[in-house]
Amino acid sequence: MKKRISLTQYLVEQQRQHGHIPGQLRLLIEVVARACKRISLSVNKGALGDVLGSADTENVQGEVQKKLDVIANEVLIEANEWGGHLAAMASEEMEDIYAVPNRFPQGEYLLLFDPLDGSSNIDVNVSIGTIFSVLKKPETGAERREPHTLGEADFLQPGSAQAAAGYCVYGPQTTLVLTVGDGVAVFTLDREQGSWTLTQDGIRIPDDTQEFAINMSNKRHWAAPVTRYIDECLAGRDGPRGKDFNMRWIASMVADVHRILTRGGVFLYPWDKREPGKAGKLRLMYEANPMAFLIEQAGGAATDGRRRILDIAPQRLHERVSVVLGSKNEVDRATRYHLEADANPSSNPLPPLY
Ligand code: P6P
Q: Report CA(106)–ligand 1 centroid distance (Å).
A: 34
Query: Which atom of ligand 1 approaches the CA of 114 most closely?
Result: 5
The answer to whether 277 touches 147, Cβ cutoff 8 Å, is no
Q: How far apart are CA 152 and CA 159, in angstroms?
A: 15
Q: Sketch the domain layout of the chain as residue ranges.
A: 7-201, 211-343
Common-topology check for domains 7-201 and 211-343: no
Averaged over 255-274, what is the pLDDT? 97
Q: Is the CB of 252 under 6 A from ligand 1?
A: yes
Q: How far apart are CA 321 and CA 313, in angstroms?
A: 11
pLDDT digits (tens, 9 = 90+) for 301-323: 999 999 999 999 999 999 999 99
What CATH number labels 7-201?
3.30.540.10
By alpha-carbon position, which residue is closest to atom 14 of ligand 1? 215
Q: Which amino acid is at 150?
A: L
Residue 354: per-residue pLDDT: 47
Residue 3: per-residue pLDDT: 80
Beta bridge partners of 135: 110
By alpha-carbon position, which residue is closest to atom 9 of ligand 1? 253
Averaged over 170-181, what is the pLDDT? 97
By alpha-carbon position, which residue is closest to atom 12 of ligand 1? 251
Helix (H) or strand (E) holding 325: strand 323-326
Q: Nearest to residue 297, comparing CAs of 184, 135, 176?
A: 184
Ligand 1: residue of 122, 214, 252 to mutate (most ligand atoms within 8 A of CB) is 252
pLDDT > 70: percent of the chain = 95
Alpha helices in 236-287 (DSSP H): 253-263
What CATH number labels 211-343?
3.40.190.80
Query: Which atom of ligand 1 approaches the CA of 120 most closely?
Result: 3
Q: Report CA(249)–ligand 1 centroid distance (Å).
A: 9
Averaged over 62-76, what is the pLDDT? 90
Q: How far apart are CA 75 and CA 111, in angstroms?
A: 14
Q: Nearest to residue 319, comparing CAs of 97, 156, 120, 137?
A: 156
pTM of the model: 0.95
3-state secondary structure of 58: strand
Residues 260-279, buried b or exposed e (16+ Cβ, 10 A)?
A: bbeebbbbbbbbbeeeeeeb
Beta bridge partners of 231: none
pLDDT at residue 178 tops 80:
yes
pLDDT digits (tens, 9 = 90+) for 99-109: 999 999 999 99
